[in-house]
Amino acid sequence: MKFESPEHATERSLQNPEYLHPLIAEAATKAREVKKEEAIDPTVFESVYGHDAVARDLEYVRSMKAKFGSEDEAHKKYADVFEAVFYENAEMSNWLGENTHTIMTSEFDDIKNGMDVLVRLNDSPRAFPYVGMGIDVTFGRNSVEKKMTRVFGEIEKGQLGTVRYFMDPGYAQFKGELSSMPHIIVGVERRHVIELAGQWLREEKRKLGENPIQLVVLKQIMAQLKTFRDYAESLKMHDLAEIYDADISVFASVLREKRGMDISDYKDDHVIAELMRALEARK
């Protein structure tokens, strides 16, 4: 099996929305299989919502995917790979701590609600201690700003994040809609996703377990939780602020454990910069 390293992809190539690195092309196939096996299946919710309602949601997914078309194909492959690698390693490699569990959402919640992966925080005092993760690999102010505006809008409505198709048999028998869940956006540039794809395809578990992207993601999570908490407090929504505080306490200890990792390679990452800029603008 021959791989092309991230260094072989020029800056110009990586800035081209249609450029597809060979590692991503291969890893995307693996990512599709992970999603097929692990993502929540809406059809098992017919007893909850009824056959017609579920059928409408599935038609919504088909229509939106058709609307996206081929113009988004390369971007989607990068996003799918990052999503699958994050889904597996947030739990298996303890990227977010030893006591977390991940769930891959349905395509409906991915597209409609912006939730790609749910993370269960077993150390949290909350009754349903889930955090919803949206994956972003897009370099562009409009994309990041749109997603952040959505999250702040959820806070303003007092709703936080929602997934329509939720189930976690390993934790609770509840099956239905889960709401009041912190909604976090995590993202990095394509060059970092390419590196992860190579380690993932080669099954380099040690490298994945030591990859400093986990500290990058943790810093993004913590920065957002604190900003969202402060925003909720400014709106006198103290119940929402308490939810964020509970999760901050969980991630703070994990962040301390991993703070020695070298993340200097990420200092010029434009996706990270846009995420931070969007948060600072709200402060």
Structure tokens at 158: 């007092």
pLDDT at residue 1 greater than cutoff 60: no
Cα 19–chain centre separation: 22
Hey, which bits of 161-207 come out as E strands?
A: 161-168, 172-181, 183-187
CB neighbourhood size of 177 (10 A) = 14
Number of Cα atoms under 13 Å in the Cβ half of residue 247? 30
Determine what percent of the chain is predicted with pLDDT higher than 90.
Answer: 78
What distance in Å separates the CA atoms of residue 283 and residue 277, rounded to the nearest whole number? 10
Structure tokens at 98: 């030893």
Q: Average the pLDDT over 82-91 and give the result.
A: 97
Q: What is the pLDDT of residues 245-268, one digit of tens each?
A: 999 999 999 999 999 999 999 999
Following CA atoms 281, 191, 100, 218 in sequence, which dihedral angle do they give, to the nearest 10 degrees?
-40
Coil, strand, or helix at residue 103?
Answer: strand
Angle at 194 between CA 188 and CA 197, to 5 degrees: 110
* pLDDT given at position 171: 77
What confidence category does residue 6 fall into, taking pLDDT thresholds of 50, 70 and 90? low
- Higher-confidence residue of 14 and 31: namely 31
Q: Average the pLDDT over 133-159 and give the result.
A: 84
Rounded CA Rg of the chain: 18
**pTM (2 decimals)?**
0.92
Q: What is the pLDDT of residues 269-283, one digit of tens each?
A: 989 999 999 999 887
Q: What is the pLDDT of residues 207-240, one digit of tens each?
A: 999 999 999 999 999 999 999 999 999 999 999 9
Q: What is the pLDDT of residues 34-81, one digit of tens each?
A: 999 999 999 999 999 999 999 999 999 999 988 876 556 888 899 999
* pLDDT given at position 3: 46
Taking the alpha carbons at both ends of the chain, their separation in whole angstroms is: 48
pLDDT at residue 12 greater than cutoff 70: no
- Higher-confidence residue of 200 and 18: namely 200
Structure tokens at 174: 């509840």
Q: Average the pLDDT over 81-88 and give the result.
A: 97
